[in-house]
């Protein structure tokens, strides 16, 4: 049995993916590959699948060179399916709801692949509603951080929040800072991301002069872990009316596992864990910032009863069920 993973590049190594800045590579492709290796598959990764391929997993195609790569991948996917092999699409962003340059590829690949996997049941159900003739399943993102017990708060009035994420979520952060300027007065905020996020925050047209002190930290796994150790709480704003409502729960799960009292927009993938975070309404935000430790018992409950669902063994087991 041979698994080929479609990703941009030539002979990409699994070790390269373990250190990738692309979350979908670390949280989805790596555990899928590890699961396949444990079941006796050989593996290849890149733009071109070898003739021995029996199963293909289609990762993120990306916007770069999409016009050439799209045709190259689709031709191979269709050939595999025609030969009686299995091609599985890992669909992590709802491109069918956007005008993304990748939309056409995903429209065609959903039809071409025998199965589509998503990180949330909400997204899985949305696809099934559009076309129930295909097979859809859900595999959650891997929790790549350790579980950390909530830290004791020392009672300081000016507390420190942390936000971490991709620049595609930076607009929601800017809106949060603007809408809750009064609540964030004299607070500190660590932003762990790429420099593009800072550019978006600077260009945003604020109605209220930002009153929170922002410290930028370049993203790395270690940077997120270190920031969490010195933060009193975490904020994960989003928008329940945007395509981002289909996002996975990996940032919420990460924050809770790291012991961070969390303020979050209740997008569908978060609602199952609504007992363990505070919604982004003004009264709830004010209460959490005043006393983050009020959430500690709930965080400990999440860590004891739910964090293991996102562990490597659990996620790899889910991938085995898809691949085999």
Q: How far is CA 149 from CA 256, 259, 271, 285, in A?
A: 10, 5, 22, 22
- For residue 227, what are its two tokens? 């920031």
Distance CA 315, CA 218 (A): 28
Ordered strands of the 55-58 beta sheet: 42-46, 2-6, 55-58, 86-90, 115-118, 135-138
Strands 2-6 and 42-46: parallel
Whether pLDDT at 186 is above 90: no
Distance CA 251, CA 236 (A): 8
Name which residue leads in pLDDT, 130 or 21: 21
All residues at 6 or more sequence positions from 18 whose CB lies less than 8 Å from its CB, including other chains = 26, 30
pLDDT reported for residue 42: 98
Tens of pLDDT, residue by residue over 92-126, are 999 998 888 999 999 999 999 999 999 999 999 99
What does 143-196 look like in DSSP terms, one character per residue?
--S---PPPPP---SS-EEEEE--GGGHHHHHHHHHHTTTTTTT-EEEEEE-HH
Tens of pLDDT, residue by residue over 287-307, are 999 999 999 999 999 999 999
Whether pLDDT at 271 is above 90: yes
For 24, counting Cβ atoms within 10 Å of its Cβ (0-12 exposed, 13-18 middle, 19+ buried), the class is buried
Whether pLDDT at 130 is above 90: no
Distance CA 163, CA 153 (A): 18
Computed on alpha carbons and rounded to an integer, the radius of gyration of the chain in Å comes to 21
pLDDT reported for residue 132: 75
Domain 160-308 has CATH 3.40.1160.10: no
Distance CA 36, CA 265 (A): 35
DSSP letter at 29?
Answer: I
DSSP H/E element including 117: strand 115-118
Whether pLDDT at 220 is above 90: yes
Distance CA 67, CA 138 (A): 29
The end-to-end CA distance of the chain, in Å, is 10
Structural domain boundaries in the chain: 2-139, 160-308
All residues at 6 or more sequence positions from 146 whose CB lies less than 8 Å from its CB, including other chains = 225, 257
Give SS3 for 127: helix
Q: Which residue has the tokens 């930028």?
A: 216
Distance CA 145, CA 254 (A): 7
Name which residue leads in pLDDT, 129 or 310: 310
Fold of 2-139: Rossmann fold (3.40.50)
- For residue 55, what are its two tokens? 């199963």
Whether pLDDT at 18 is above 80: yes
Domains 2-139 and 160-308 share a fold: yes
pLDDT reported for residue 98: 86
The rounded mean pLDDT for the chain is: 94
Q: How far is CA 128 from CA 77, 107, 124, 138, in A?
A: 21, 13, 6, 12
pLDDT reported for residue 134: 85
Give SS3 for 115: strand
């Amino acid at each position: 049995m041979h698994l080929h993973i479609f990703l941009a590049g030539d002979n990409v190594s699994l070790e390269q993916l373990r250190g990738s800045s692309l979350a979908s590579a670390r949280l989805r492709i790596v555990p899928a590959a590890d699961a396949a290796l444990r079941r006796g598959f050989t593996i290849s990764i890149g733009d071109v699948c070898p003739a021995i391929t029996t199963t293909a997993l289609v990762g993120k195609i990306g916007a770069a060179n999409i016009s050439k790569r799209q045709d190259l991948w689709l031709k191979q996917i269709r050939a595999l399916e025609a030969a009686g092999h299995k091609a599985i699409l890992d669909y992590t962003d709802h491109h069918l709801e956007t005008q993304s340059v990748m939309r056409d590829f995903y429209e065609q690949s959903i039809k071409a692949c025998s199965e589509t996997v998503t990180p949330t049941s909400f997204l899985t159900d949305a696809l099934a509603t559009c076309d129930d003739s295909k097979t859809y399943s859900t595999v959650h993102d891997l929790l790549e951080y350790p579980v950390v017990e909530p830290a004791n708060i020392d009672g300081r009035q000016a507390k420190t929040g942390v936000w971490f994420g991709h620049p595609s979520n930076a607009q929601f952060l800017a809106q949060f800072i603007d809408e809750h300027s009064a609540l964030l007065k004299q607070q500190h905020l660590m932003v762990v991301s790429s420099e593009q996020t800072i550019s978006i925050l600077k260009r945003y047209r604020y109605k209220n002069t930002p009153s929170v002190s922002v410290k930028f930290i370049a993203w790395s796994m270690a940077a997120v872990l270190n920031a969490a150790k010195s933060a009193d709480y975490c904020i994960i704003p989003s928008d329940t009316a945007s395509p981002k409502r289909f996002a996975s729960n990996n940032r919420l799960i990460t924050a809770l596992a790291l012991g961070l009292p969390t303020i979050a927009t209740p997008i569908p993938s978060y609602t199952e864990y609504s007992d363990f975070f505070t919604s982004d309404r003004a009264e709830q935000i004010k209460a959490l910032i005043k006393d983050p430790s009020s959430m500690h018992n709930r965080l400990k409950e999440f860590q004891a009863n739910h964090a293991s669902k996102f562990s490597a063994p659990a996620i790899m087991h889910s991938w085995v069920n898809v691949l085999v």
